[in-house]
Structure 1
Amino acid sequence: MRRRALALTLPVAFLAACASDPAELVGQPPRVVFFEGESAELGEAATAVLANAARLARRHPEVPVQVRGYAGPAGGVAHNQVLSAQRAEAVAAALVARGVPRGRINVSGRGPVPFEMSSIESRRVEVLVGYP
């Protein structure tokens, strides 16, 4: 239980130490980009989400950016691991194109979601600004 409490307070302490205005970042939900079926191509709906995430990341150049890709359960674990990584890389490339330095972006493909969720919710990439 103690570890969990420390894990929850680490982002706040990290942001307080390095962000110019940590209050803006604390409690920020992830920006979420959704994908079609077996695709890793960004749709038009992703434009506003990515612009918002890039603007926030540029406003706080001292904090890291996490890009976490997910896929649904269909197609097997190995296939979905690759697909989730491709989706995350597509989002990272879009952030770089919008002025976020690639060196600040930590990209991970998480594979299929580990719990039951709708198919559209599982086909997503989360962008978290300010998490260590």
Structure 2
Amino acid sequence: MKTPLSIRIAFFFFISILAVSCHRDSDVLQMTFSKVEKCMDLCPDSALNILKGIPDPEKLRGESQATYALLMTQTMDKNYMKFSSDSLITIALNYYAITQNKPIMYAKTLFYHGRVMLELDKEEEALKSFLAAKDIYERNQNLKMLR
């Protein structure tokens, strides 16, 4: 059975539009994350508001989900918000521990895992995370993070 040329063209057009729209969403999300990282130190409240503006963060997957979890944990820490559990940072920790493709992000995740564990009165786990983060930073010569 042959399909008419117009159906093939319409199908190709639909797939192209779908691919471009998914790529745009990813680009917008990455720009949002970049904006959050830029204002994190000076305006952590603004960073928190930007992150809260991301629609349906529970639908994020993979690296986007891990980055969101890390940045949200970081903004909560910088805004002196109390942590009731480690579930958010664990999402990032699990992703970066498995992928191992971004050691600085993994080290940053370990550091904030330590901050959360400290807040939850789990000092031994916190110390392990801090030391693991320090080791990764030293191996990657990221001296800014060690200050």
TM-score (norm 1): 0.30
* Higher gyration radius (CA): 2
**Greater helix fraction, Structure 1 or Structure 2:** 2
Q: Which has the higher contact order (CA 8 A, sep 6+)?
A: 1
